[in-house]
Chain A
Amino acid sequence: MVQVTSPAFKQNAHRALQDAGLQKALGKAKGAFLQRRAAAVAALPEFERLRDIGRDIKNHTLANLDHYLEVYAANVEKAGGKVHWCSTAEDARRAVLQICRNAGAKTVTKGKSMISEEIGVNDYLEAQGITPVETDLGEYIIQLRKEHPSHIIAPAFHLNREDWEADFRRAHTDLDPNRIFHERRDILTEARSRLRQKFLAADVGITGANFLIAETGSSVIVTNEGNGDLTQTLPRVHIVLASIEKMVPTLEDATNMLRLLARSATGQDFSVYTTFSTGIRREGDLDGPEEYHVILLDNGRSNMIGTEFQEMLRCIRCAACMNHCPVYGAVGGHAYGWVYPGPMGSVLTPSLVGVEKTGHLPNASTFCGKCESVCPVKIPLPKLMRHWREREFERHLTPATIRTNLGLWAWFAKRPSAYRLATRLGIGALSLLARAPWKKNRGAFRRLPLAGGWTQGRDLPAPEPGGTFMARYAKARRQRRT
């Protein structure tokens, strides 16, 4: 199970900012995502309209989610599959284990799935003597390093090529020391050669789902490496891990969402592999599993319906918000301290884990609004983060010093005459201090008591001399009259 380290967000962020390797990786990876998305969006004139369509499809689905879940489940069963309704992570882990045990599984291969991270299924299976093997390239290296993903579509976003090479040389002890790892292709070839026999040996394949389609009972995955297809096609048993909000009503809805997803995520028109899975292998099918299970996870999501956080359930996990977020870009994904980083995580994590532990996340945002502007389903992320701040304030979780300062400031702000007096005095004092004889630059402060947060990395400009605007304006008016 992924530990929640969000309470230490500040320390995590501090460490991340000092980590030269991480900073190098963040700088490189980020630019590529931004440029590709921008190019893909520019090449599709109806992209903005498509965002509205995506938002509307998801809103409609969420408004009728109980209906679509029932239709979906019925269609899965009709196609010979089985739906496991799991209200908690524990339920989901147990269901997966039971299926693996029934199949007599020793190893399971896995496609990329954030739900797998959310329920912590790898550690659980391992503790029960079943070996999970991650087959997505990024997930594979993360598993070698015993880490967790730092990004929802690029799990190894925080690593550099040198890290990959070092990990391969460490873990693959029979590796020829003269092997060269210059390019992504070299890394991919090595991982593929190791994974090939695992694919063939696995008894169960576990994948995530980008979408679930109610009208057909299908699950959809997109990958660029084809590992998902091998994971779900070769073993006898296929388990799909999906949360309830992955639902869309129809195949056509799914194709609209796929157009949005690929462009927003990687800047592709379409992912290299897009795979629809419906039930078990039928007579005459060339491939397909003997058993098809869907672990349908709630884990707190249904509690969000009908609240101000319902809009968050539109999220299709494209990662555009974190790719464009200057805070994510500065500290990376691990600093956020749980499964989902970046702006989407700053809204979702408090919903799933509780705001008591994760209060920093919705606060660590400048509300610059870039995330909302690129979100393919138009989730108002800053607004939802602000709602979390409101919940924190109502429940007195906001730090006492902030509450006190805010209260003091509000008292004056509601009383213009007192406010005028206090600000005149305060600014007067600050101006005097700025002109102190020991100061080299009278225009700014290098240090100032109680302003350490500001001055640790920047000077504090001094107020313009001559008093507040309101005082000067009033004086000028009086002079004009006389």
Chain B
Amino acid sequence: MHQTRPRVALFVTCLVDLYRPSVGFAAIRLLEAAGCLVEVPAAQTCCGQPAYNSGDRATARDLARRVIDTFLHYDYVVVPSGSCGGQIAHHYPGLFEDDPEYRARAETLAGKTHELVSFLADVIGTAEVTARYEGMVTYHDSCSGLRELGIKAQPRRLLAAVDGLVLKEMEDAEVCCGFGGTFCVKYPDISVRMVSDKVQNIQATGADTLLAGDLGCLLNMAGRLHREGAPVKVRHVAEVLAGMTEEVAPIGEAPAGNGAKA
């Protein structure tokens, strides 16, 4: 039995590491429940996407090489983000067009790298979760996950298995929220307009909770919802699927009680 458990490396992502550790723990919980042997390589930092999308190809390649070397020997690499997952699974090979050795390694890594929810739904075949969530949720499709990795039905399928949860689709769920990495601070006027449109669609559903699979988008939407004083709870989809919502306050909200939890 032990030998058949796939060895899965968790690529935590910078934002989860810094901003929302619970998503990482939720991922571990879900993967272990699905029978995976989960490891978190200590040498990981960032997938390099900020450099890649800023035109700094040399830095993007340096960081990609580090990720490839660190993660290549696992059965799978799982990422709780469509954006960072897409960077590894979709963009890495193209970074090494003139380097056949790393090109091959990048392609191997790309083939075994998956976004968390699609890994559970498509690779492992998870159909049931034990979580319970009383509420009406709406789900935002993050761009990279949707268009680079084809993530659309998977989170909805798993959310349907959560007891008590009702999903209410929003208008334009597939339209960008305006985050776009550094775009949101380079072009704040346009970004805020886009996230305001998004927030309008979220509120129009009457849902009390917004879920998505990418922390960047979630921070952006939570930030705007808060600014508008909208009473919508914002969470990463993994927190709900792992049944962790009692353990951590929604994004952008103060923890119940006083101060930090260990």
Contacts and interface: CB of A to CB of B under 8 A. Distances in A.
B178 to A, nearest CB: 6
B6 interface: no
A464 B184 contact: no
B223 A454 contact: yes
Given A327-B190, A464-B248, A410 B56 contact: yes
Contacts of B260: 431, 465-467
A459 interface: yes
B111 interface: no
Nearest to B199: A458
A330 B227 contact: no
Nearest to A467: B21
Interface stretch (A51-59, A204-212, A437-445): A437-445
Interface in A418-462: 419, 423, 426-427, 431, 435, 441-444, 446, 451, 453-462
B254 A443 contact: yes
Most chain B Cβ neighbours within 10 Å, of A392, A458, A472:
A458
Contacts of A17: 189-190, 193
Interface string B11-30: 01000111111101100000
Given A366-B143, A389-B53, A458-B227, A453 B185 contact: yes
A80 interface: no
A10 B187 CA distance: 7
Contacts of A363: 183, 186-187
- Judged by DSSP, the binding face of A is helix
Contact-residue size bin, chain B (C-beta under 8 Å from the other chain): 35 or more
A367 interface: yes
Interface in B34-81: 40, 42-46, 48, 50-57, 59, 62-63, 66
Given A366-B178, A406-B54, A463-B19, 15 more contacts: A326-B178, A367-B144, A416-B43, A454-B188, A457-B192, A457-B196, A458-B223, A464-B20, A465-B260, A466-B260, A467-B260, A470-B12, A473-B24, A474-B42, A475-B262
A180 interface: no
A455 B183 CA distance: 14
A13 B187 contact: yes
B53 A386 contact: yes
Interface residues of A, number: 69
A416 B42 CA distance: 8
B119 interface: no
Interface string B219-262: 11011101100000000000000000000110111110001111
B223 A386 contact: no
Contact of B143 (A331, A367, A391, A441): A367
Given A458-B226, A473-B24, A14 B180 contact: no
B252 A330 contact: no
Contact of B55 (A389, A412, A444, A462): A389
A373 to B, nearest CB: 6
Contacts of A406: 50-51, 54, 56, 59
Interface string A350-364: 000000000000011
A469 B24 contact: yes
A454 B248 contact: no
25 contacts: A326-B175, A326-B178, A367-B143, A390-B56, A393-B54, A402-B186, A406-B56, A410-B63, A414-B66, A419-B45, A443-B226, A443-B249, A443-B253, A444-B223, A453-B186, A457-B189, A458-B220, A458-B224, A459-B227, A459-B252, A460-B219, A461-B226, A461-B252, A466-B260, A469-B18
Nearest to B194: A326
A473 B40 CA distance: 9
B248 to A, nearest CB: 6
A468 interface: yes
A465 B259 contact: yes
Contacts of A394: 55
Nearest to A331: B190
B57 A390 contact: yes
Contact of B176 (A326, A390, A441): A326
Contacts of B18: 423, 426-427, 463, 468-469
A250 interface: no
Given A410-B59, A453-B184, A330 B190 contact: yes
Contacts of B21: 464, 466-469, 472-473
A413 interface: yes
Contacts of B226: 441, 443-444, 458-459, 461
Interface in A61-104: none
